[in-house]
Amino acid sequence: MSPHRLLKSMNFLQLCGLCVLAGFLLVGCSPTPAPKQNTVVEKGHADHDDHAHEHPTTYDAAVSELEKLRMQVKTHLADGDKEKADGPVHAIGHLMGDLKDLAAKDNLDETSRDSIDKASEELMDCFEQIDAALHGGEGKTYDEVSARIDAAMTVLMKKGSLDIKTSEKSDDAPEPAEKSAQE
């Protein structure tokens, strides 16, 4: 059957349907837009967007929250529950980003802010190592960095107006770096 004869034998609806089908085949679906890239990447956590976390509004509140999260990590890891420890470890990372700004907002002096920065860097290093271990990388256990965490938390607690006591303060915990450098 010739194409001309085929077209004569089709009724109008069939011809319209064929045209629509041909249009879809030629045009196709529009490509889906590329996923939005996260332009700010935390160390090793590109898959975490800036979640809707409640951020503390004062330095003291941030340090209190930090202490609470630290104890959750310690407890979950002592219980062998790495999955439950992972959330608080990541929350600590988000909270550490706020600490410097809150110290400045609470009008702490420059020496105190410098000490807070050093202690914050120490905590970030410790919790990044814990996080690496949680995800199967070459990190460290909480017990391996607990003395460093305790020392850094002591510095953070002394700089604000908090009177929080660490639950298991170690007498053999090393002094924070800025104190040992002054001696």
Domain assignment of residue 102, yes or no: yes
Domain assignment of residue 6, yes or no: no
Q: Give the other-Cβ count within 10 Å of 130's Cβ.
A: 26
Domain assignment of residue 49, yes or no: no
Domain assignment of residue 47, yes or no: no
What's the pLDDT score for residue 148?
97
Domain assignment of residue 45, yes or no: no
Domain assignment of residue 132, yes or no: yes
Domain assignment of residue 13, yes or no: no
Which tokens is 155 given? 């510095």
Distance CA 137, CA 21 (A): 53
Question: How large is the greatest C-alpha to C-alpha distance in the chain, in angstroms?
Answer: 103
What's the pLDDT score for residue 50?
45
The range of the structural domain enclosing residue 85 comes to 59-177
Domain assignment of residue 86, yes or no: yes
pTM for the whole structure: 0.60
List, run by run, the mean pLDDT of 10-residue segments along the chain (183 residues).
59 60 56 44 41 76 94 95 94 88 82 88 95 91 96 88 47 40 40
Q: Which secondary-structure segment (H or E) carries 24?
A: helix 12-27
Number of domains in the chain: 1
